Amino acid sequence: MDASWKLTEAQLREWLQGLLEKYDVVAPAEEDGVVLFSRITSEDEAIVEPSGKTRWSPKEFLFPRTEALYHYTFGSGKVQLEDPSLPERPQVLFGVRSCDASGLVRLDEIFLSGTTDRLYAARRENTTVVTTACAAADPECFCTAVGGSPVGEEGSDVQLVPLVEGWLLRVLTDTGRDLVGEAKGDWSAATAKDVKRLPALEKKVSKEIERSPVNKEWSKVLEEGFEHGVWNRLSHQCLGCSICAYVCPSCSCFDMNHNGNAWSGAQNRSWDACTFPLFTLHASGHNPRTTGHERYRQRVLHKFAFRGDEDEPFRCVGCGRCVALCPAGLDIVNTVAAAVDAIREEGADAAR
Amino acid sequence: MPLAETVPNPYQPKLMRIQEYTDETPDVRTLKLQFVDGDEAADFGGWEPGQFGQFTVFGAGESVFALANAPWRPNGDHGAEPTIECTFRMVGKVTSALRAMSKGQVIGFRGPYGNHFPVDGWKGKGLVFIGGGIGMAALRSAMLDVINRKSEYGEVVILNGARSVADLVYTEEMPAWQEVDGVRVVRTVDPGGETEDWDGEVGLLPNVFEKLGLDPEGRIVIACGPPIMLHYLFLSLGKVGYSPDQVVTTLENKMKCGIGHCGRCYVGPFSVCRDGPVVTWAELNELPKDY
């Protein structure tokens, strides 16, 4: 499966333009000075660079910010229900960073486990992911601290690796092979030297990420220190704005609400966040998480604790967006490290 | 075949008609529902006591209620038409809209969801059902299942408490439960909640439970009520000598999806809608205090 080619920038652009004939292509593109994943209509809109990331993750193309789960109409004394239509054209997510591709796999673990989410499954099945390995780290990046890699393959069908000049293209799955299709006709095969670029980049970028790794054994420490007073101290800055959840590639919590009138309506869902006070409010008025520190703790622990077994990955993929965009300057890796230190030093039940 | 064509939409409810309702208290009502579509009724797989459903008022939203009548089992002894009952208190947007509906109107139902009470595992044991307020709704399916085949179980004590006499639910049917051999119903209201002709106990549920002096040997306690009641009830249970694995409860966290996806009802690693709602006191002790 590991077929590799070396492409010039022009060849890459030609391939991308060709994809537009058959696929809806979503790629990083500039919008009002911000780089965001958008549906492109021409290859020159796509920003495919050796490093740098979009403001938001691409998760909304599998799990939209808001969508109807079904529609209903009232007429002649009857209620009629209708499923939303499913995507017809296949979709390519192009230029996805390794961290974001891992984020999509974390979403799969939620939406495709137990009861399958039909809408998510339909989009997922219809989607091919082309990742771009990183030749440099952004200041907020910390994928290597949470088990990821700047050249990681998780969730990737085709991987693009920036060479000093041009790109190494690696096919990683059957779906990826279909995407390359006939286009490879005039591409040259990758050399052993090109392939060596992978470990070289991994080493270089890992060095740029100056963060101590989060130890998997810390999950248990965090769980034991659930009621430790440190959470009060660590969450003081949190404003509860939930930007961290909205930009997170792996956050999957959602709300469900009816929008309707006397004739028709829909059951909708939209992104939600455990850092909002209404998230867990019962109709009776009871709320298990009335304080900000309980909500912030939930967010941190859902990413870094309560893993089923040792092999289960953290639910944080290390993109660092929540660190870069937090208006209060909170840093989830520092929070975890500080919590673990305090719990270990003061004991699991120390002062509230 | 593309996956999406073989996967049903988990969020699309079945349509159900309100056949009848009973007003239990000024703000609590029990609905009796039947499937609008005969094919959906025929395909219905039934439920086990302790499971719950998502009930839709189109235009208002969804609410979670326990499936409150005796379990409908596909090969069980029952009428041909599956009937679902739910008891709800009018407290919010959806339940207010539901309360305003009349007989013959159509609502949505999806479920059953969650795990269930191990009713078959309790055979031969004495059972103590303790329900506070509308917490009785989550126990009623199990109580009726057990009463319907009482010969398979030991003594059944039903301890029902409420804030006041007016807040007691299922009062009309309780005398009939009492008449079954080996079933004892004890009712209590909080001090100040009694009326002049009240013939039951006066006192908080945990205190009344202690006074009953029920020997823990060979018994299972099944309790449901507000968090504060459970807190004090567990203290009483410990005092009387019940071990945590003899006590079963059902958790009520805010839920939206019902299938473990929306992230709302987590208690640590435990998704109440998917892994619960039924838990033993022993299991609850392993979870963080986040409910």
Residue B187 lies in a domain: yes
Give pLDDT tens digits for B32-52. 999 999 999 989 999 999 999
B104 shares its domain with B200:
no
Distance CA A243, CA A321 (A): 9
Query: What is the pLDDT, as a whole number, of residue B252?
Result: 87
Query: What is the pLDDT, as a whole number, of residue A252?
Result: 96
Give pLDDT tens digits for B207-251. 999 999 999 999 999 999 988 899 999 999 999 999 999 999 999
Kind and range of the H or E run holding A293: helix A292-304
- A89 contact B CB<8A: no
Residue B57 lies in a domain: yes
Percent of chain B with pLDDT over 90: 91
What's the Rg (C-alpha) of chain B? Answer: 19
Beta-carbon separation of A284 and B95 below 8 A:
no
Q: Return mean pLDDT, chain B.
A: 94
Query: What is the pLDDT, as a whole number, of residue B1?
Result: 58
| For range B97-118, the mean pLDDT | 96
Beta-carbon separation of A113 and B290 below 8 A:
no
Which of A85, A112, A117, A227 to mutate against chain B (most B CBs within 10 Å)?
A117
Query: What is the pLDDT, as a whole number, of residue A234?
Result: 94
B14 shares its domain with B93:
yes
Residue B199 CB neighbours (<10 A): 7
- B151 contact A CB<8A: no
Contact (CB, 8 A) for B88 and B95 = yes
Q: Helix (H, G, I), strand (E, B), or coil: what is residue B76?
A: coil
Give pLDDT tens digits for B256-271. 999 999 999 999 999 9
Give pLDDT tens digits for A183-218. 777 899 999 999 999 999 999 999 999 888 999 999
* Interface subset of B 12-51, CB within 8 angstroms of A: 12-13, 15
Residue B89 lies in a domain: yes
| For range B100-111, the mean pLDDT | 96
B232 shares its domain with B169:
yes
Residue A32 has pLDDT above 60, yes or no: yes
Name which of A258, A283, A288 is nearest B290 (Cβ-Cβ): A288
Residue A1 has pLDDT above 50, yes or no: no
Query: What is the pLDDT, as a whole number, of residue B79?
Result: 64
Please say which residue of B84, B113, B142 terminates a domain: B113
Give pLDDT tens digits for B175-196. 999 999 999 999 999 999 999 9
pLDDT bin (cut points 50, 70, 90) of residue A351 is: low
CA distance A224 to chain B (A): 9
Query: What is the pLDDT, as a whole number, of residue A2?
Result: 59
Residue B257 lies in a domain: no
Beta-carbon separation of B11 and A69 below 8 A:
yes
Give pLDDT tens digits for B79-92. 668 999 999 999 99
A281 chain-B contacts, CB cut-off 8 A:
254
Beta-carbon separation of B252 and A282 below 8 A:
yes
B89 shares its domain with B55:
yes
Percent of chain B with pLDDT over 70: 97
B180 shares its domain with B218:
yes
Give pLDDT tens digits for A114-135. 999 999 999 999 999 999 999 9
Distance CA A58, CA A104 (A): 8
Give pLDDT tens digits for B143-185. 999 999 999 999 999 999 999 999 999 999 999 999 999 999 9
B75 shares its domain with B166:
no
Residue B274 lies in a domain: no
B16 shares its domain with B137:
no
Q: How many domains does chain B divide into?
A: 2
Residue B66: CATH number of its domain: 2.40.30.10
Residue B78 lies in a domain: yes
- B11 contact A CB<8A: yes
Residue A335 has pLDDT above 70, yes or no: yes
| For range A234-252, the mean pLDDT | 96
B43 shares its domain with B85:
yes
Crossing angle (nearest 10°) for helices B227-240 and B205-212: 20
B149 shares its domain with B237:
yes
Please say which residue of B113, B138, B171 terminates a domain: B113
Please say which residue of B59, B82, B113 terminates a domain: B113
List strand residue ranges (DSSP E) for A40-165, in order: 66-75, 78-82, 91-97, 127-132, 158-162
CB pairs under 8 A between A and B: 134
Residue B90 lies in a domain: yes
Residue A10 has pLDDT above 70, yes or no: yes
Residue from A140, A148, A122 nearest A250 by CA: A148
Q: Return mean pLDDT, chain A.
A: 94
Residue B71 lies in a domain: yes
* Segments forming the whole domain that contains residue B69: 9-113
* Interface subset of A 30-69, CB within 8 angstroms of B: 69
- A79 contact B CB<8A: yes
B126 shares its domain with B199:
yes
Residue B223: CATH number of its domain: 3.40.50.80
| For range B20-42, the mean pLDDT | 95
Give pLDDT tens digits for A58-77. 999 999 999 999 999 988 77
B242 shares its domain with B158:
yes
Contact (CB, 8 A) for A302 and A335 = no
| For range B54-74, the mean pLDDT | 94
CA distance B253 to chain A (A): 7
Contact (CB, 8 A) for A116 and B4 = no
B66 shares its domain with B109:
yes
